[in-house]
Amino acid sequence: MPNQTTTAESFVERPQTIAALRTEIAAGRTRAADIAAQYYERIERLNPRLNVFLSLTKERAFEQATRIDASASRGDPLPPLAGVPMGIKDVLVTRGAPSTAGSKILQGYRPPYDCTAVARLEAAGAVLLGKTNCDEFAMGSSNENSAYGPVRNPIDPERVPGGSSGGSAAAVAANLAVAALGTDTGGSIRQPASFCGVVGVLPTYGRVSRYGLIAFASSLDRIGPLAANVHDAASLLGIIAGHDPADATSSPAPVPDFAAESDKPPAGLRIGVPAEYFGEGLDPEVRAAVEMGIAALESAGCAIKPISLPHTKYAVPTYYLVATAEASANLARFDGVRYGYRSANSATLSAMYSHSRDEGFGAEVKRRIFLGTYALSAGYYDAYYLKAQQVRRLLAEEFMRAFAEVDAIVTPTSPFPAFKLGEKTGDPLAMYLADIYTVTASLAGICGVSVPCGATRTGLPVGMQVLARPMGESTAFRVARAVEAAGI
């Protein structure tokens, strides 16, 4: 009998694909419990510096791993994600285990139910290692807004991993998990994926149930996977996608075999390159890397077509009105009454509300609640929130007109690679402008993938964003897979 712990140890040294892991377990060459133990050992070594995980769910992980191992030794067919160690962003509720949303206001909170996406991963055999760090209530682009300290980019620990799903992206990049779940409201899966050199998926709005996602902006929030390669990301989406009666906004559209679709060659696809995403403010090294990716697509038989999306410049202001307005409504529930932080020594109920929220929320969260409340207030609603919803319609229609001419649109995911910790924290507006290439897809409800596409001279990862029409993830995966195969 081969020494399975040694096999697990060497297995975990290099990032593995979901399929390779599952094959090893099914063949009896390694055990899911040993793999999990090895990942926990890596986490113990690397987490103090990187601050990727906020809490670990060891009991649950080993119970699952033991179940998988028992199936394997009986020779039963294994579920699609058998033994795959995963990190779960802390805005997704996990029954009985801490779910803080990166905030002090939910410190110690243990939800009484599971997020649907999490439950589906577990039903497919995934081993949930723990909860990953994130910007507070998913509000941020650098993971510096977490009440539990920033996450450090594994590529360069003096730099941010991106946000708000910084912990999930860093977990995959540092091989502290084989894959992770993140959430994306304005770019929070795609941008950290690009900063950390991993694949991140923005599913179409409604593709994945939001049940169990601690809400930030209900018309923008999406749950999506992060993984080390396109095929795995596509497999994961296939597991979590699909209608859920518990989410009235979840779509009844059938779920394709995304993994199989992602392997199809992209020849014949029409790729749109929008001028507005390649203008002023784009780092020259990012531009060069993405242009190499576009050239690779052309060599692979794609037709490259310049297009224009003239309303792009209005996306960031639109987003920061819509998202903050919705956040002000969604965060009203954190009042110290039923769960979470309650301020001590409040003489009256209203004092308890204001003290709990003042003491429990961080500065960025407060900023957005103030903005959103103002944008919705009497006398300002039409000028701000309604106006933003109208511009949103224009942005969505602009994309739909483009998708009549092209099958996918490619852009840089971010105007720059990972910046240094502390570099943008002094200027909130500068931080908001980091989202310029990602908020458009969020507002329009369309889907996309960020795929690694080269690096800067100093080795900082660059990401290419591939956007597709609503429910068109298969096309986005095909294009992303081709960029990945080109090995920029």
Catalytic residue positions? 89, 164, 188
Pairing label, strands 85-89, 127-132: parallel
| Closer of 69 and 90 to another protein (Cβ) | 90
Instruction: Give whichever of 278 and 432 is closer to another protein, judged by the CB atom.
Output: 432
Nearer to another protein, 278 or 339 (CB): 339
The residue within the footprint of another protein, chosen from 175, 312, 318, 330 (CB under 8 A), is 318
User: Would you list the DSSP string of 105-136?
Assistant: GGTT---SS--HHHHHHHHTT-EEEEEEP-SG
* Binding residues with another protein: total (CB under 8 A): 63
Q: Based on CB atoms, which residue is closest to another protein, 80 or 317?
A: 317
Under the binding rule (CB under 8 A), the answer on residue 393 touching another protein is yes
Cβ–Cβ < 8 Å for 180, 132: yes
Residue pair 204/470 in contact by the 8 Å Cβ criterion: yes
DSSP state of 165: S
User: Measured from the CB atom, is 30 or 251 closer to another protein?
Assistant: 251
- Under the criterion CB under 8 A, does residue 346 sit at the interface with another protein? yes
Task: Give the x/- contact pattern for another protein in 402-441, rule: CB under 8 A.
Answer: --------------------------xx--x---------
Binding mask 351-380 for another protein (x = CB under 8 A): xx----------x--xx--xx--x------
Interface with another protein, residue 321, by CB under 8 A? yes
Q: How far is the CB of 389 from another protein (least distance, A)?
A: 3
Q: Is 345 exposed, middle or buried (0-12, 13-18, 19+ CB in 10 A)?
A: exposed
What is the footprint of another protein within residues 252-281 (CB under 8 A)?
252-253
Q: Does 206 bind another protein (CB under 8 A)?
A: yes
Q: Which of 70, 275, 332, 337 binds another protein (CB under 8 A)?
A: 337
Give the dihedral sign, CA 92/98/102/105.
Answer: positive
Cβ-Cβ contacts under 8 Å for 393 (sequence gap 6 or more): none
Nearby residues of 32 by Cβ (< 8 Å), 6 or more positions away: 25, 64, 65, 66, 68, 69, 72, 82, 83, 127
Among 19, 292, 396, 486, binds another protein (CB under 8 A): 396
Q: Which of 124, 126, 51, 33 is nearest to 88 (CA)?
A: 126
| 171: helix, strand or coil | helix
Three-state SS for 330-395 is HHHHCCCCCCCCCCCCCCCHHHHHHHHHHHHCCHHHHHHHHHHHHHHCCCCCHHHHHHHHHHHHHH
Nearest 5 degrees, angle CA 330-CA 334-CA 339? 130
Q: Which stretch binds another protein (CB under 8 A): 53-61, 109-117, 155-163, 268-276?
A: 109-117
Q: Which span sits near another protein by CB under 8 A: 21-29, 181-189, 224-232, 388-396? A: 388-396
Residues in the chain: 488
Stretches 2-10, 79-87, 131-139, 393-401: which one binds another protein (CB under 8 A)? 393-401
Residues near another protein (CB under 8 A) are 109-113, 204-207, 219, 245, 248-253, 311, 313-314, 317-318, 320-321, 336-342, 346-352, 363, 366-367, 370-371, 374, 383-384, 386-394, 396, 428-429, 432, 444-445, 470-471
